[in-house]
Every structure is written in structure tokens, then in C-alpha cells.
Amino acid sequence: QQQVKQSPQSLIVQKGGISIINCAYENTAFDYFPWYQQFPGKGPALLIAIRPDVSEKKEGRFTISFNKSAKQFSLHIMDSQPGDSATYFCAASMMGTYKYIFGTGTRLKVLA
């Protein structure tokens, strides 16, 4: 119930393509879903986040799609660039709690 399942484990996309990473959760009490981006040798950094009262959130080339009934959410990176090559983690949390449950990560490589 506390797991967040993330797929795929790795992804290779051509420059200009769309990168899609998926996450699924079980605990319906989760109400905050952030995505973190991590470059090699660096700590994760918040990229974009969504709450379940909206089905989509867009920030520049990054979009989160949220399907509450299916308990799934995904990250879409439009017009993917080589600079987007990084590891992406989804996470889930409950408002007012300390705990984040992280997915296992997706290593994205965008080919020039």
C-alpha cells in the first residue's frame, strides 16, 4: 500500500521527441505527487508537482497527467532535449506528513 511503482526503468528518446514516465500508487490517502529530477553527482531537485484535485499541470515543456480513478500519474517531457538527460523520480505524500514515498527512478537519455 505504501509503494509507488515507476516505469520504465530507462528510456532513450530522440531530440525533439516526447518522453513519458509513468507511476502508479495504491494508497488513496496520498494527496501530493511531486516529480524530482536528478543529474549525475547531484541531489534530486523538485521539477513539478500536482495535487489530485486537478487532472493536469503544465510548466513549460513538462506536464503531469493525473488519473485519480486509476491511481496513476505520469510525466510528459515535450520537445525533449539532451539537457533533459537525467534520472527522474516520482513520489507520493500526504499533506501534513513528513514522509515521501519515492518511485525507483527512470534514467532518461535524450540523443542529440
Q: How many residues bind another protein (CB under 8 A)?
A: 26
Q: 17 or 57: whose CB is closer to another protein? A: 57
Cα–Cα distance for residue pair 102/100, rounded to 1 Å:
6
Q: Which residues of 48-59 are buried (b: 16+ CB within 10 A; e: fewer)?
A: bebeeeeeebee
Subset of residues 57 to 96 that bind another protein, contact rule: CB under 8 A:
89, 93-96
Closest distance of CB 65 from another protein, Å: 19
Regarding 1 and contact with another protein (CB under 8 A), the answer is no
Q: Say which residue the cell 513538462 belongs to.
A: 62
Nearest to 41 by CA among 104, 107, 86, 88: 86
Nearest to 15 by CA among 88, 64, 78: 78
Interaction pattern, residues 6-45, with another protein; x per rule: CB under 8 A: x--x---------------------xx-x------xxxxx
Q: Which residues bind another protein (CB under 8 A)?
A: 6, 9, 31-32, 34, 41-46, 49, 51, 89, 93-100, 102-105
